Structures are given as C-alpha cells and as structure tokens.
Chain A
Amino acid sequence: MYQYDQYDRSMVDARVAEFRGQVERRLAGDLTEDQFKPLRLKNGLYLQLHAYMLRVAIPYGTLNSRQMRLLGDIADKYDRGYGHFTTRQNIQYNWIKLSDAPNILAELATVEMHAIQTSGNCIRNTTSDQFAGAAADELTDPRPYAELLRQWSTFHPEFDYLPRKFKIAIIASETDRAAMRLHDIGIQLVKNDAGEIGCKFHAGGGMGRTPMIAPVIAEFVPALQMISYLEACLRVYNRYGRRDNKYKARIKILVHEIGAAEYRRQVEEEFAHILTLGLEPPAEELERIKGFFEQPGFEVGASDELDLSDPDFALWVDQNVHAHKQPGYAIVNISLKPTGGIPGDATADQIRLMADLARDHSFDELRVTHAQNIVLPHVKKADLYGIWQKLDEAGLAAANLDLIGDIIACPGLDYCALANARSIPLAQKISNRFADLGRQRDLGELKLKISGCINACGHHHAGHIGILGVDKKGVENYQLSLGGCEGADTSLGQITGPGFSEDGVVDAVEKATDVYLAHRAEGERFVDTYRRIGMAPFKEAIYAKEPAHG
C-alpha cells in the first residue's frame, strides 16, 4: 500500500489544524453558518437529518488493518458504535458532534487518512476495482495510477471549484467491477499493439437526475500522459460546464450537449497545448508509487485443495470467494448484507474483526467495494475455513454476493437530508422476502439497487432491478426500473410504469423475478432475459389486476 511521504503528511496535518481553528471560530460565533458550511464540507462534514455526518475518504477503496481498526474505534469513541460503507468505497458516520470533528480528523491523520475530497465541487475520491492486484484478469495493477491520480487531484487549485462534483474511476480489467462508465471520467488501462500500457478514456457518464453512459473519447493515451489528458478533460469541462444551473452542471450534460466528437476535439487541442508545458509527473514518480504496490510475498506451492464437507462453508465459498491470480490463494468477499440487515452498515466490533482478519490472513489489506461490501484480497485457501467460522460468529458470513440479497441501498430518508423516501426499510423487506438462500441462488446474479432520491447514490439506474424513492404529495412512493447494468455491458434501467407503495414494490419485485424464472434460457441472468424478451412481459405481470374475490 502507498505510504505518505513528508508532503502528504504535512498537507493532511495542516488541514486538520486549519479545520480545528475553523470549528473553534464557528463554535465561538465568529463564523456564521453561511461562512462555515463550505469549510466543513471541504472536510467531509455534512449536517444531515439527525446529526452531523462525517464521510471519510478511502482512496480507491484500499485500507490496511491499522486504518480499518481505527475506523472501528472511531465508531465506538465518537459515533454510536457503527459505520456505513458507501457506494463510493468510503465510510460515513451518522452521529458526529461538530466539536469532535477536528479530533476525529487528527486521529485519522495518524493512520494516513482524512475526509478531503468527500464533498464539494471538486475531484472526489477516486474509485477503482476492489480486486486490484489480485484479479487473474487484470492487465496491470490500477492502484499506482489511482494513487498518482489522488496526488494530482488533491488540492489541485484549478479544479477545486468545478461547476459540480467530479468522479473518476480507474480499472485495468475487461471485467468492470467499478461501474467505470457511469463516472464523470472512466479510465480503463489497456495495451496497444506494441504492448505498451495506456489509458482508454470515457467521459460524460453518471447517474443522478440525467443518467448517461460515458462514451469513449480516447482509445489510447500513453500511461505517462494520463495526467495531462485528465488535465485537458477537466480544463474543457471547467471552462464550459454550466455554472448557472446545478442540474445541468455535470460533465455528462456538457458532453451530451456539444457531442462527444466536439468535446474530444477540444480536449485534444488542450492536450496538445498541455504537452508543450511539460506538466506531466515524471516517470520516476509513477515508478516510485508502483514500489508501494509490489506483489505480496505469496507462498509458492500453496495448496488449492479445499475441504468443502461443511455445506454452509461450501455455499459461502461458491458464492463469496473469487479466483485469485496466485495459485493457492483466493479473494474473499465479506457481504455486509445479512438477511434483513442494513446494507453497508458494520458495527465497531465487526470492523475490528475484519481488520484482524486482514492483518492475519490477507497481507494486511482490505478493500471496500462500491456494492458496500468488504474484500480480503489475498487469502491463502488453507485459511478460508477458519476465516469463514470467525465471520459466521460475527454475523458477516452471508453467502449472497451478487444475489438479490446483496442489495445496494443509500441511507435514504432515515438519515439523508436530500432524500425523498426511505431506502433501508425497503431493502430490509426485500431481503426478508427473499431470505431463502436456495431461492436466491436459483435466481442467480441479480443486482438490486435502491436510491432514496434522484441523486442516485444507491445506483438504481444500474440495477438489474432498480428502485427510486420519490415524494408523492408527502407520501413515499417507489418507481421500479428494469434492465440496468454496470460493467462491460453497461445499460440504464427503464421505468416499468406507475410507482408503488413500499409493500407494493416488494410484490412487484417478486413478480418480476417470477417472469424471469418463467422465461429464462439456459445460462441467462435476470438482465439477459430482460434484454431478450423486453419490458412487456414484466410490465404485464407487475401491473396485472388481482382477480376479484367473493
């Protein structure tokens, strides 16, 4: 993992000291809320429905055990014993006192963490593939590039007040596990015919009010020019992005309105200019960063044998354990979606347990996924059973990865000041309705995602089944959409029709799964069947009138 140098450390320490002073002045009445609000947001501190909420950055979702342990300790010491892992691979705490915030940031700084770039109209925390450095299908480890991106974007003066927030994802596999094309900029590391690594750039994607899939704007930019090309992309956006209307201010609107070809032309022009300035970080810096991401010292000849005589363990291995590039090792996905649970929530004890497991069994590494789960990336197969037993004791062994129980849900109206409807109770009802793991496995991969408002933090546009909560004259109402997908075959869900009550949408989800079961062909996922047969059969079943009784 990357370790701070003196510059990183001094920047973060200075920011903590600066924010401490700002909080003191606010509490003393020397700053008004209008003056203070943009300052606290620059440090990830929001005022939500019940309290302040602190969102802590987890760069490209990567953590070591010391950092994870501290996240658990903060939950105990400053919050109410739990944290919420988010769809942007971060963690947020729901019950923070303003007066405690500087101390929390100071504690985070001791383990090289902070809350910078988790709010505001800046380049947000970069996300990446949770299997980076472990996946058999990756071209190269994307994390050094993500780290370079982090260093470039943090406190970049030109891009600190963009028209709107700006999200970048970077991956290095054909299998997109980061919803890359639904970001403002999505970068896929690729190889050209000469075997050189470069960046395939996508720009103008996003969810929210106007969902868009990012078109490709550059097939191959040499890796050592990644930052200059990003600089060009951002500069064109910063120049022309709509600052007069926040609903039209994201880059997706700009790219859509002027067209990908024109946006590309302007970026290329700017790129050519930037190259003459020699602003690109030196190759040695990328090499220095790569040095922090060397392959762990895997045991050569570790056994691939697994005793699967315990049926519950066997189910968990089948569903939650992913192939590793190193023989004898595996990638463990810890689902934070127990039946009827709150998606993404973990108690302080659970967080510390996962930290301990990473320290003892995963070369000290953990990852947070955009699906609100946790990954132990480098686990020896011989250790899997013992790990599973500990997870099971702690309520962390739900064997439902990528099944209908593995629901993404934003905090919704239970916590969020922007939300129009609750997401979590709905997720819990659906989770309970499909509690039978055999039923879930029969349905196969089925990504269900719930957002409590149009901002789409719950990624509902990308759900095979997506649910959007809306406010209908003061009553919660839920729109259902089908056919969304992230990954290499990214698509946006289509709304089925009129919305539902909370119970009604649970029934509608079940009816949609019934249609899938009735029509699926061999090997088809829910979304594949939807794409083949279209909306009509689903709509017919979902909105069919119940026969009259009596």
Chain B
Amino acid sequence: MKIITASDLRTGDVVWWTGDGWSRHVNDAVEAGEHAEAVIARENAKQIVTDTQVIEATRTDEGVRPAHIKDRIRALGPTVRLDLSLKPADPAAGNWVI
C-alpha cells in the first residue's frame, strides 16, 4: 500500500494521512490510492504540514508497517530513547523497526 507522511509544520512531529486529517500514529494511516498527489497538493496548500511524501507500506496483523527502516523509525521514535518514542512502556518496541 502507499501511505502519506509529513511533518507537522509547527512542532515537527511525524504525522500520517488518515483520509480526513493527520495522526501521529502510523496505524491510522490509510491507503493513499490514486489521489495521493491531489491530497498532497491540497494539504500543502493549507500550510499545516511540511515535507509531505508518499511511502510504501504494508498492512500486517500488527498494523501498518512502512517498508523502509527510516520510515519505521519515524513512526516509532528514536530506538535509543524509547522513553521518548510513541511506545515508552514497551522495552522491546525497538525490535519493530528491524
């Protein structure tokens, strides 16, 4: 599947396109489909997010998994500071990116 990711303009937070807005959680990401470019053009114009891009991902039993490790690290947070990641209570969360 193809999903859309960006950074929140004001905070820099990693965000994912949910179909009607932006979420910090990759599992909320939806298939961008053939309208990806139109979504990006429209959202860029709103100047709420920046660095918008379409990436490859797969839907697994555990949720949406970006294809590239860089995007998986973006989705989780730094693997060396899991306390600052989106899964601070899971000491094994870093294994998800490998």
Chain A positions within 8 Å of B, measured between CB atoms, are 26-27, 29, 32-33, 47-52, 80, 94-99, 342, 413-415, 419, 422, 424-425, 428, 471, 474-476
Shortest CB–CB separation between residue B25 and chain A, in angstroms? 14
Shortest CB–CB separation between residue A238 and chain B, in angstroms? 30
> Shortest 7 CB-CB distances between A and B: which pairs?
A51-B12, A29-B47, A414-B78, A52-B12, A424-B80, A33-B50, A97-B11
Query: Which A residues lie within 8 Å of B81 (CB)?
Result: 342, 414
Q: Among A47, A97, A414, A425, which residue has its beta carbon within 8 angstroms of that of B10?
A: A97
Contact count band on B: 20 to 34
Query: Would B12 and A415 count as touching, CB distance under 8 A?
Result: no
Total inter-chain residue pairs, C-beta < 8 Å: 72
Q: List 22 A-B contacts (CB under 8 A).
A: A26-B47, A29-B47, A33-B51, A47-B7, A48-B12, A50-B14, A95-B84, A98-B9, A98-B10, A99-B11, A413-B69, A414-B78, A414-B79, A414-B81, A415-B78, A419-B70, A422-B79, A422-B80, A425-B79, A425-B80, A425-B94, A475-B69
Shortest CB–CB separation between residue A77 and chain B, in angstroms? 15
Q: What 0/1 pattern do residues 42 to 62 of B give for CB contact below 8 A with A?
A: 001011001100000000000
Query: Would A96 and B79 count as touching, CB distance under 8 A?
Result: no
Closest chain A residue to B46, Cβ basis: A29
* Cβ of B68 under 8 Å from chain A: yes
A159 to B59, CA, bound (A): 50
* Cβ of B1 under 8 Å from chain A: no
Q: A95-B84, A342-B80, A424-B80 are in contact. Are A51 and B69 (CB under 8 A)?
A: no
Q: A50-B13, A342-B80, A475-B69 are in contact. List 20 more A-B contacts (CB 8 A).
A: A26-B47, A27-B9, A33-B50, A47-B7, A47-B51, A49-B73, A50-B14, A50-B77, A51-B7, A51-B12, A51-B13, A98-B10, A98-B12, A99-B11, A414-B81, A422-B73, A422-B79, A422-B80, A428-B80, A474-B68
Shortest CB–CB separation between residue B2 and chain A, in angstroms? 16
A95 to B81, CA, bound (A): 12
Query: Would A97 and B80 count as touching, CB distance under 8 A?
Result: no
B1-24 residues with Cβ-Cβ distance < 8 A to A are 7, 9-14
Q: Among B12, B50, B84, which residue has its beta carbon within 8 angstroms of that of A80?
A: B84
A96 to B8, CA, bound (A): 12
Query: Which B residues lie within 8 Å of A52 (CB)?
Result: 12
Closest chain A residue to B45, Cβ basis: A29
Closest chain B residue to A428, Cβ basis: B80
Query: Would A413 and B12 count as touching, CB distance under 8 A?
Result: no
Query: Would A50 and B69 count as touching, CB distance under 8 A?
Result: no
Query: Would A413 and B50 count as touching, CB distance under 8 A?
Result: no
Query: Which B residues lie within 8 Å of A98 (CB)?
Result: 9-12
Query: Would B12 and A97 count as touching, CB distance under 8 A?
Result: yes
Query: Would B12 and A96 count as touching, CB distance under 8 A?
Result: yes
Shortest CB–CB separation between residue B8 and chain A, in angstroms? 9
Query: Which A residues lie within 8 Å of B44 (CB)?
Result: 33
A95 to B47, CA, bound (A): 20
Query: Would B69 and A414 count as touching, CB distance under 8 A?
Result: no
A171 to B77, CA, bound (A): 39
Query: Which B residues lie within 8 Å of A425 (CB)?
Result: 79-80, 94
Q: A413-B70, A476-B69 are in contact. Are A50 and B12 (CB under 8 A)?
A: yes
Closest chain A residue to B51, Cβ basis: A47
A97 to B10, CA, bound (A): 6
Closest chain B residue to A81, Cβ basis: B84
Query: Which B residues lie within 8 Å of A33 (CB)?
Result: 44, 50-51
Query: Would B12 and A47 count as touching, CB distance under 8 A?
Result: yes
Query: Which B residues lie within 8 Å of A32 (CB)?
Result: 47
Shortest CB–CB separation between residue B62 and chain A, in angstroms? 18
Shortest CB–CB separation between residue B75 and chain A, in angstroms? 10
Query: Which A residues lie within 8 Å of B94 (CB)?
Result: 425
Query: Would A413 and B73 count as touching, CB distance under 8 A?
Result: yes
